[in-house]
Amino acid sequence: MKGSTLSSVTNALRILRLFSQKQKELSFTDIVRLSNVPKSSTHRTIATLVEEGFLSRNPRTTHYRLGLAILSLGGVIFSHHELYKEALPIVKRLSEALDESAHICLMENLEVVYLFRVESRHPDRLLTQIGRKNPIHCTSEGLCILAFQDESTITQLLQAELYPFTPYTLTERSDLLSLMADIRKNDYCLLENTYYENYTSIAAPIRDYTGKVVSSLSVIGHTGRIAGSKQGMLIEEIKKAASKISEYLGHYSS
């Protein structure tokens, strides 16, 4: 039994090591050929790795790629960085098209963490740093992730003391619950002046292969540039870009 378990672990590690930055997807046949693991053992091992989230399957190509559970084996910034790297051109195109700063953000320990950013050319842009952590309750990028989490996670945040960073920061439980209901309904979050006055942020959720919201794509800019009729166009472009990034994580919307 002990030897069988060790063999299974060895097979799983051998398969996972086949994937790299240059080889992001592999077919079942490729995995059997490259791993030298017997076909029946490969089938069982892949099924287990998919079930546990260490591999995901692209329904369009039927090929396999690394899943999000790999991220639990390392730090939030370094492990996520590689997974989202291929989505960076989407963030760059969005930032250039909208002429505003764009970010991919994660949630860790009830804070929002900035993983990637592309700065706009505007001198009055709001500067952010990769790895920086901000409160969730006053940022669209944070609330856009939190709104889709389980009830216990949401309750945990709402029970904490929520600091009002501006006169417009929402700190009441009922207001935040109502806002999160709107986020789930509309699939985006827009906040004005809630963290820094005169700045507006718009965020859309990014989903993994299971459909779970694991991160967000946000655009932050001066309220004067993001106000009025332009907002509708910005929201749609951000949502489309977030959907494309979700595809990199194995989520394909119908």
Per-domain boundaries in the chain: 2-66, 76-248
Contacts of 235 (CB under 8 A, 6+ apart): 188, 190, 202, 204
Query: Which listed CATH number (2.30.30.110, 3.40.50.300, 1.10.3720.10, 1.10.10.10) goes with 2-66?
Result: 1.10.10.10
- For the domain covering 76-248, report its CATH number: 3.30.450.40
**Can you list the residues of the chain whose pLDDT is less than 70?**
1-6, 21, 59, 68-83, 122-131, 254
Q: What is the pLDDT of residue 74?
A: 46
125-171 pLDDT, tens digit per residue, is 555 556 677 899 999 999 999 999 999 899 999 998 899 999 999 99
**DSSP of 201-247, one letter per residue?**
EEEEEEE-TTS-EEEEEEEEEEHHHH-TTHHHHHHHHHHHHHHHHHH
Distance CA 110, CA 93 (A): 29
Tokens of 197: 């006055």
Answer whether 2-66 and 76-248 agree in fold: no
DSSP annotation of 26? B
